[in-house]
Amino acid sequence: MKIKLTMLLLILSILIFKSCTVNTKNESPLEIIAFCDMTTSLDTISIKKLARDVRNMITKVPYGTVINIYPINDNTFTDKIFTIPYRNIDKRSKKQKREEMETRKSEGEKIEKIIIDNYTKMNKDSSSEYKSCIISSLETVYDIVKTNGNKDNIHVVFFSDMIEQCEISIADKMYMCSNKLNPKKEDLIQQVKEKYIPNFNIKKLIGNRVTVIVSTNLKKHVRCLQESERKAVWKEVFKKVGYSAEDFESFHFNQNSRDDWSTLGQNPNVK
């Protein structure tokens, strides 16, 4: 009798352990917070490439990933343009998984159109020239993540030329482009050191899980910082929210989209 009772308890323990393991997995999907630049620092060719890069991410990331996409403008605190909710497909049939792949393809095409349409709407007037407020998105990241119980599985992605051209920048008025004077990297780095004083640390929340896909700026009539100069300024910005120069080098800061989206989230301790 004692042996039967012991066996029964052992079986119940195994079932409870398996149940808890499955629930934990389902409750902690990979979550992407993406910021998409739709301002006039990008021309019509660049915005199409950016939209394709976002579509590529959506179709390549692991299935079940939660994706929230925000526009980069002068109001990144409240706007959200697209959400893909969590879907558990672990126990679905091959047919259902194929259907899910088609759904992702459709969602990718949908967001590609939304980005281009929003770019057109946002840039109808000349004031949009000064709405590229990227630094403020870091505060948005902090506000979203600080109360999220899924911090270990969050990855932040920027799709942008990373040109801060903002009248209301948190780092005071900041312009990385000018029609009259050549903006100087050293001046902007000093401005960040003196004017950008965040009271939060993003690295402590999400580690190095940040990707920056830099869009090409093709506007020849505007004098802008070169990509390497912008990178130097952003290195100083991210330093203010907890990242070392070595950390920053892991952010994939270049003009090529990632080719490993499908592996994102496999190890939450790495980028």
pLDDT at 106 over 80: yes
Higher pLDDT, 81 or 221: 81
Between 44-60 and 94-122, two packed helices, what is the crossing angle to 10 degrees? Answer: 160
Q: The dihedral of CA 199, 201, 202, 208: what is its sign?
A: positive
Q: State percent of the chain over pLDDT 90.
A: 41
Residue 51 has pLDDT above 60, yes or no: yes
pLDDT of residue 190: 96
* Chain-centre distance for alpha carbon 226: 22
β-bridge mates for residue 67, sequence order: 32, 84
pLDDT higher than 50, residue 172: yes
CA–CA dist 72, 137 (Å, integer): 7
Question: Residue 139: pLDDT above 50?
Answer: yes
Ordered by where they begin, the domains of the chain are: 29-263 (3.40.50)
Q: Are 160 and 184 in contact (CB under 8 A)?
A: no
**Residue 166 pLDDT:** 87
Amino acid at 227: E
pLDDT at 91: 64
Place 36 in a pLDDT band, splitting at 50, 70 and 90: very high
Lowest average pLDDT, out of 30-34, 179-183, 189-193, 213-217, goes to 179-183
Average pLDDT, the chain: 81
Return d(Cα 252, Cα 47) in angstroms, integer: 19
Over the stretch 193-227, which tens digit does the pLDDT of each residue have? 999 999 999 999 999 999 999 987 655 556 788 88
pTM: 0.83
Per-residue CA distances from 76 to 66, 131, 184, 205, 209 (Å): 19, 10, 26, 20, 20
Which of 3-7, 37-41, 70-74, 109-113 is the most confident on average?
109-113
